[in-house]
Structure 1
Amino acid sequence: MTAADTAPRQTEPQSAGRNSGSGARAWIVTGLLVVFMMVNFADKSVLGLAADEIRADMGLSATEFGLANSAFFLLFSVAAGAVGLLADRVRPKWLLLAMALLWTVAQTPAALGGGLAVLIGSRVLLGAAEGPAFPVAQQAALSWFPNHRRNLPGALVTFGVTLGVMTAAPGLTWVIHHHGWRAALWVVAAAGALWAVLWAVLGADGKYRTDAAETLSGEPAVTPAYRRVLGTRTWIGTTAAYFTSYWAVALMVVWLPSYLRNGLGHSYDAAGRLIVLPWAVGAIALLAQAALTGWLMRRGVSSRWARGRVGAGLLLLGAVSCLAVPLVDGAAAKTALLAAGFGLGGSFATVAVTTVAELAPPARRGGALGTMNATVTTAGLIAPAVVGSLVDSHGAAGYQTAVVLSGGLLLLGALAAFTLIDPGRDAPRPSV
């Protein structure tokens, strides 16, 4: 570790951070955004939880079902980038409210009935409405906290993803089993509408959304062109690493329930419970990473180590676990490795968001986060279709091939994070 590694860039006044970042309103908003991400991922998980029922109801092959899930990401990435740029000009409060209302509208056509075309159209609209959710929610939460206090709120908003699946999986599985998969769509639509009402009353933007709050006294704000931010090694490395992590998340949401039932022989009810395991592992990793990163940064360790290399370690552990799946026998051992591999490999999101939030000045933060998310979530467009093709070609063995492929990608992501991430080197600095 060099001297440069122990001299983090200071971009916000510490006293202002203490006064603003610890207020009750900041944590109320953060809590609402956690719930926002819970609803968001409950929406995404419905089709994966009901995969067998939907395929039987509509007579779909694994490839067709994979393509139907990939349709969710058709406009997902485009919307993430476009709305991310818009978030630098429009208050995130109103963008988030519009998204939540659109989620409810998008669920309605498939919930009412119709065939594959209606399902695909509904998922395309839902994907467009949900694509910007994560970067805009993170931008809204981080606007209440200075850089050195962002790890916990960033982790909590990401943790909402895990909570969404952990709470939704058993409940939605029960609804699907007893009332059908369309009833589950009505449940998540109602949850989105209820959140929108709460957010309209209690939501707000924080003071760190503006340049003035994040510059040292007397120093002008730096507003570089987007291409200067997106061309840095830190942004490129973060995005590449996050892409591999999102690939693992996409497979967890869409295909892991089917793998547990059809590939590993778990019963329907057991699979509904076991699907929670990788998300639980990811939740523990997420909070541990936030605590470790915050502890390191408070002691003067740079983000190169505290974020980049801690994140690389998570991806490496996830890769090793996935690559070990073919080497063990028995459903229990394979399930444990799947939980570790996808849980650890899928927990890079907070590292990615807080790194880019440190790299990009406030006037470019929404665009930098949105463009990263747009790039990363193309994994969700590709992964379900690839796995569907593998399952149709190789049967149950195709699931295991997909896990090994994920392990290889996570290994590349760990390498990118370890070698490229260094916000202290790449962040624009105030003129002197």
Structure 2
Amino acid sequence: MSLVVLNYFDRQTLSILKPIVKTALDFDDHAYSLLTFAFMLPYIVMYVVSGRLIDRFGTRICMTVFAVGWSIANIASGMSHSFAHLAASRAFLGAAEPGVFPALQRAILNWVPVERRTLAISIVTPAGNLGAILAPPMIALLATAFSWRGAFIIPGIIGIGVALLWWFTDSREAPAAKRVEQAPAAAPASATSLLKDKRFLAIVAVRMISDPVWYFYLFWIPGYLQERVGLSLSELGLVGGIPYLVAMLSCLMLGRFVDRRTGRGHDTIRVQLWLLGITAALMPLGALITMTSSAFLAILIITIVISVCQIWFVGFNVLLAGLFPANVNASAVGMLGAVGASTSLLLNLFAGSIVMQFGYLAIFAGLAVLHPISAVILALVIGRTRPKHATA
């Protein structure tokens, strides 16, 4: 779990230090969009590749290589003396970071019994929020004490050490390796056959629609709070982690709720679809962010949106674990992460130009309707094909 915490910590560094780094390396919001593009293009490609690698070689070697890679990229970001150097470092970071998520999904399916999986997924999936919670105060402290470069370099060094710990502690053989997990009768037997399953294709479509909300908030909200709401870097350090803390607690409570319902004989998939629909109804509140000058109200709305995004990411992994066998889950997570990041890449590529020409309102209003649309798609495709009294 410490690796996913570092994963999110490292990717937050640039967005938190955006105003400082923009001044130091002399670039604008349009160029910042190019930095997010440089991160996300290899991120998309490696999401697919890393999932297949994990299914082939396991979590021990793959996670170690990925973590060392993104830590080196973070150190390189701190050593950048030009925009081009920073862009190259962000591309390297994007190539190394996505492997952590399919690795965690595969580890859970290997080690955790089905009646506890939702809670396990609810703990591990939003664990990165700890990194996002720690990032604002720690990065502000590091930048103040060692300059903005130290805020990149020091966490990178720590990350290499944690990666080596993973290598020595990860088991070579999980319990799942000693048993054959029975897959649902209609479940795909290979990663490529997933693409012929309409349930998986529905989840693909939904990730393409809804993921841009998360990526925009991840990359742009810290700068928005400083440049438009008026928070200083130290103030952001105090309150910037609140949305992620609330999101993590929300995932834990709802994960426990789903497991309890499953234990009482309810179908996990139907319960999860119901939760996704209820939480999606909250997302239109995101359109109101630019209509308030209150930092409290802005952070409250941001907290709701980020919490829903995280609840949905947990929900996607629960759907994958319940609908498809373990031997294709890492590949499924990789493919879904890639398609979601693809549409997110397009948004972030043009976000700077949109903000400069039309302001933030156009983007926030558009993002506010994406989760409700996604909830309808899931209900129509997966909900209708699910037996009403199915058990997990």
Return the TM-score normalized by structure 2: 0.90
| Residue 126 of structure 1: aligned partner | 93
1:226 aligned partner, one-letter code: A
| Structure 2 counterpart SS, 1:213 | coil
Distance (whole Å) between structure 2 residues aligned to residue 406 and residue 277 of structure 1: 21
Whether contact under 8 Å (2:121, 2:314) holds in the other structure is yes
| Residue 74 of structure 1: aligned partner | 41
Question: Are residues 1:200 and 2:148 paired?
Answer: no
| Residue 29 of structure 1: aligned partner | none
| Residue 10 of structure 1: aligned partner | none
| Residue 63 of structure 1: aligned partner | 30
| Residue 27 of structure 1: aligned partner | none
Q: Residue 4 of structure 2: which of 37, 50, 53 is its match?
A: 37
Whether contact under 8 Å (2:64, 2:167) holds in the other structure is yes
Distance (whole Å) between structure 2 residues aligned to residue 63 and residue 224 of structure 1: 44
% of aligned pairs identical? 21
Give the CA RMSD over aligned residues: 2.5
1:375 aligned partner, one-letter code: V
Written as runs of structure 1 = structure 2, the 5 A alignment for 1:18-417 is 34-204=1-171, 207=174, 209-210=176-177, 212-215=179-182, 224-317=189-282, 319-325=283-289, 330-394=294-358, 398-417=359-378
2:363 aligned partner, one-letter code: A
Whether contact under 8 Å (1:93, 1:140) holds in the other structure is no
* Alpha-carbon spacing, 1:308–1:40, altered in 2? closer, same or farther (3 Å): same
Number of residue-to-residue matches in the alignment: 387
- Which sits farther off after the overlay, 181-190 or 104-113? 104-113
* Alpha-carbon spacing, 1:130–1:190, altered in 2? closer, same or farther (3 Å): same
* Alpha-carbon spacing, 1:136–1:410, altered in 2? closer, same or farther (3 Å): same
| Structure 1 counterpart SS, 2:368 | helix
Determine which structure has the larger helix proportion and give its number: 2
Is there any run of 5+ residues in structure 1 with no aligned partner, and where?
A: 1-33, 427-432
Distance (whole Å) between structure 2 residues aligned to residue 209 and residue 67 of structure 1: 43
Aligned-residue offset at 1:144: 0.3
Whether contact under 8 Å (1:315, 1:414) holds in the other structure is yes
Distance (whole Å) between structure 2 residues aligned to residue 116 and residue 62 of structure 1: 13
* Alpha-carbon spacing, 1:287–1:240, altered in 2? closer, same or farther (3 Å): farther
2:216 aligned partner, one-letter code: L
Distance (whole Å) between structure 2 residues aligned to residue 254 and residue 149 of structure 1: 33
2:321 aligned partner, one-letter code: A
Whether contact under 8 Å (1:169, 1:275) holds in the other structure is yes
Whether contact under 8 Å (1:304, 1:424) holds in the other structure is no
| Structure 2 counterpart SS, 1:72 | helix
Aligned-residue offset at 1:223: 5.9
| Residue 17 of structure 1: aligned partner | none
Whether contact under 8 Å (1:239, 1:352) holds in the other structure is no
* Alpha-carbon spacing, 1:296–1:333, altered in 2? closer, same or farther (3 Å): same
| Residue 381 of structure 2: aligned partner | 420
Is there any run of 5+ residues in structure 2 with no aligned partner, and where?
A: 388-392
2:306 aligned partner, one-letter code: F
* Alpha-carbon spacing, 1:401–1:277, altered in 2? closer, same or farther (3 Å): farther
* Alpha-carbon spacing, 1:423–1:89, altered in 2? closer, same or farther (3 Å): farther
| Structure 2 counterpart SS, 1:421 | helix
Whether contact under 8 Å (1:234, 1:420) holds in the other structure is yes
